[in-house]
Amino acid sequence: MTYIMWGSAHSLYSGKLRSYLIKKGVPYQERNPSDPEFAARVLPQVGHMVIPVLETPDVDVLQDSGDIIDTLEPRHASPILDPDTPVQKAVSALFDGVGSEYLMPLAMHYRWSYRAEQETFLQAEFGRAMVAGQSRETRREMAKAVMDIFAGFLPNLGVFPETAQALETSYLDWLDALDSHFQHHPYLLGGRPCRGDFGMMASLYAHLARDPVPASLMKAKAPNLFRWTERMNLAVIPDGEYPGYGDDYAPDDSIPESLEAVLSLVFRDWVPGLSADVACFNHWASARSAGDIVSIDGRRRVHPGVGEVSYPFHGVEMKRGSAPHAVWMFARSQEFAKAMPDAAQARFAALLGRTGGVDMYNLTIAARMERRNNVLVLA
């Protein structure tokens, strides 16, 4: 019973799904979208160009790395790769959003703002994924056109020369905190990976741990974090580098102390942008109806927007397109938090108080979103 993952080594969200499939022990074959079968058979079922896509043995086509994990986790009972205790569940979902959404502009910055320094590598990566056959030189030339499109996304992500220094300064703090955590713990929540680990692999692997410029930075500044990216692509869960650690989540629904420093950065850096995204989404949704596609123009888009946002970030003004996907992903963690029993809510509130997360979890999201037919819609 073998799945087919349509993805690529350089793809941000392919890194998230690939790691999950490996840790889950799901038999799969990875194929690139350059394979003619993708355009002929798979793409028409998805409705727009996007990877990763997963084909099941029953020839069902699933899209969105998060949706795929939701589908496979109950289908393959062991090993369990997300905690069922309330505080850890909310924290896991939070880090899924952090890696999948918050860190994505930073990953794109290090790929495209340093394009000249890593052009040959990127041409090979994009060429391999998009162009079957051809000579090396032809493949590289054909890759440039696709690369130009992706490089053009930076302004919509808030990445400009005047914001680059703020992004990089913030990232150094993240490298330090994550490196410290992974010196003592193999995964975010203890001895086995959770949904949050896979979400963090989205930005931290394909871009930040593989592209030459940011990979060198991670290896130099955060070797324990780099080792975690390698560990996340190994099938085994217990890691011999942590003798006697065990292969389960931290006991008693606790959060490793070293992870609190990372949570403090999450709330310090994401609250301003997420608050702006929520306000923009709430305004847009107030004039829409259930079933409407979440998109400013009603068109199907991989990363839709519903307006423009601006907010202060480390001494600069960030201006970018809104990110309703980030709102949707955070809402999952927020809903888990609201559903906690009283004792767990008290412990979670104390954690938020220590790490600066109260304002984030007090955000009011005025409408629910859900995915239908591979796009976000109002529920």
* 339 in the same domain as 322: yes
* 63 closest CA partner among 40, 44, 36, 91: 44
* 350 in the same domain as 213: yes
Confirm if 166 and 268 have CB atoms less than 8 A apart. Answer: no
* 175 in the same domain as 34: no
Element housing 212 (H / E): helix 212-221
Tokens of 222: 């955060």
What's the structural domain count of the chain? 3
For the cut 90, the answer to whether the pLDDT of residue 134 exceeds it is: no
Inter-helix orientation angle 195-204/65-75, to 10°: 150
Q: Which residues, including other chains, have CB under 8 Å from residue 118's CB and lie 6 or more apart?
A: 111, 211, 212, 213
Q: Is residue 276 part of a domain?
A: yes
Q: Is residue 198 part of a domain?
A: yes
Confirm if 154 and 108 have CB atoms less than 8 A apart. Answer: yes
* 102 in the same domain as 57: no
pLDDT band per the 50, 70, 90 thresholds, residue 18 = very high
Q: Which residues, including other chains, have CB under 8 Å from residue 110's CB and lie 6 or more apart?
A: 207, 208, 211, 213, 214, 217
Q: Can you give the CATH number for the domain in which 42 is found?
A: 3.40.30.10
Does residue 243 have a cis peptide bond before it, meaning omega lies within 30 degrees of 0?
no
Q: Pick from 129, 153, 177: which residue ends a domain?
A: 153
Q: Which residues, including other chains, have CB under 8 Å from residue 358's CB and lie 6 or more apart?
A: 349, 352
How much is the average pLDDT of 276-295? 97
Compute CA distances 279 → 71, 307, 310, 334, whole Å.
31, 10, 11, 16
Q: How far apart are CA 235 and CA 22, in angstroms?
A: 5
Q: Is residue 215 part of a domain?
A: yes
* 145 in the same domain as 207: no
* 168 in the same domain as 122: no
Q: Is residue 61 part of a domain?
A: yes
* 112 closest CA partner among 206, 207, 16: 207
- Using only C-alpha atoms, the chain has a radius of gyration, in whole angstroms, of 20
* 19 in the same domain as 40: yes
For residue range 149-182, what is the model confidence (pLDDT) as tens digits? 999 999 999 999 999 999 999 999 999 999 999 9
* 290 in the same domain as 141: no
Q: Is residue 314 part of a domain?
A: yes
Q: How far apart are CA 265 and CA 281, in angstroms?
A: 24
Burial 114-150 (b: 16+ CB within 10 A, else e): beeebeeebbbbbbbbbbeeeeeeebbebbeebbeee
Q: Is residue 360 part of a domain?
A: yes
Q: How far apart are CA 158 and CA 154, in angstroms?
A: 6
The residue segments making up the domain with residue 300 are 86-109+158-378
pTM (two decimals) = 0.97
Q: Give me the pLDDT at residue 373, please.
A: 87
* 183 in the same domain as 37: no
* 341 in the same domain as 202: yes
For residue range 25-67, what is the model confidence (pLDDT) as tens digits? 999 999 999 999 999 999 899 888 899 999 998 878 999 899 9
* 99 in the same domain as 38: no
The mean pLDDT of the chain is 95
* 145 in the same domain as 102: no
Q: Is residue 285 part of a domain?
A: yes
Q: For the chain, report the end-to-end CA distance as a whole number of angstroms.
A: 34
pLDDT band per the 50, 70, 90 thresholds, residue 203 = very high
Q: Is residue 348 part of a domain?
A: yes
Name the phi and psi angles at 352, rounded to 5. Answer: -65, -40
